[in-house]
Amino acid sequence: MIEADGLAVRFGRVEAVKSASFRVEEGSSFGLVGESGSGKSTVLRAVAGLNPNWTGRLRIAGENQMPKRSKDYFRRVQMVFQDPYGSLHPRQTIDRILSEPLLVHDLDNVEARIRRSLDEVLLPSSVRFRYPHQLSGGQRQRVAIARALISEPQVLLLDEPTSALDVSVQAEVLNLISDLRQARGLTFIMVGHNLAVVAHLCQSIGVMQNGEIVETVTTQALRAGNVSHPHTAELRRLNVELEEAEPIPDNRPGAKVLKMR
């Protein structure tokens, strides 16, 4: 579904991404992890069509993509941003926020789609005519997820979707994303710096350092410690220490536990 070959992004003299290559099969998930400034979010924005300053080759569903994308591309490929406070228009109701993509892409059954999208992200219908500031951070991010999915995309791009949330709701949102991916057969790329979070959702992971993907490893190999690059081993060690000190809870009955090991 997604193929990147020699993807490079430059801002002036700064080479933010250096010849990144990866593949994501249809219906599977791929994570990009690394420290702040490693280039992972820049890769995601290039795939999303939000950054035209890239070179290399990018194919989505077998189609070569150019820096300028078609309107249909933005229906099939959607993104959930890191900060739910900034990604939702403060002066629009949730109803307006969810209906806008449907109007842009000329999709019918607006009323039914909005009701279904709220149900999918486990939000009550009572939030529909509220404004973003009247919702909690977790509810806002659920609205952002609903907005991304309401146009029925094939690909979902996630830029650290829980890092701005309280620890108490992080696992609930991550498990919701996991359930939605399986139910809809989505292909997605997730960016993050917490290995436990990314490994919880992704089948394979690319580790970035200084703009390069230094290693690609399966989640099973990562959990077992079968890694070859020193930076991957260091990120894993730091994650295990953090996990032991501050596990991420999910208090829902039967919820999956976020553990990397």
Give the DSSP H/E element, type plus range, for residue 6.
strand 2-11
Phi and psi at residue 191, to the nearest 5°? -105, 140
pLDDT tens-digit series, residues 104-161: 999 989 999 999 999 999 999 999 999 999 999 899 999 999 999 999 999 999 999 8
Q: What average pLDDT score do residues 229-247 get?
A: 71
Q: What CA–CA distance (Å, rounded) separates 85 from 93? A: 14
- For 111, 115, 142, 215, the CA distances from 107, given in Å and listed in that order, are 11, 15, 21, 41
What is the CATH T-level fold of the domain 2-245, as seen in this structure? Rossmann fold (3.40.50)
Q: What is the pTM of this model?
A: 0.88
68 close to 52: Cβ distance less than 8 angstroms: yes
**What pLDDT band is residue 235 in, cutting at 50, 70 and 90?**
confident
Q: How far is CA 105 from the centre of its chain?
A: 22
pLDDT tens, 172-221? 889 999 999 999 999 999 998 888 888 888 999 999 999 999 999 998 89
- The answer to whether residue 43 scores a pLDDT higher than 90 is yes
- Kind and range of the H or E run holding 217: strand 212-218
pLDDT higher for 197 or 243? Answer: 197
Helix axes 94-104, 137-149, angle to 10 degrees: 20
Q: Which residue has the higher pLDDT, 257 or 187?
A: 187
20 strand-pairing partners: 7
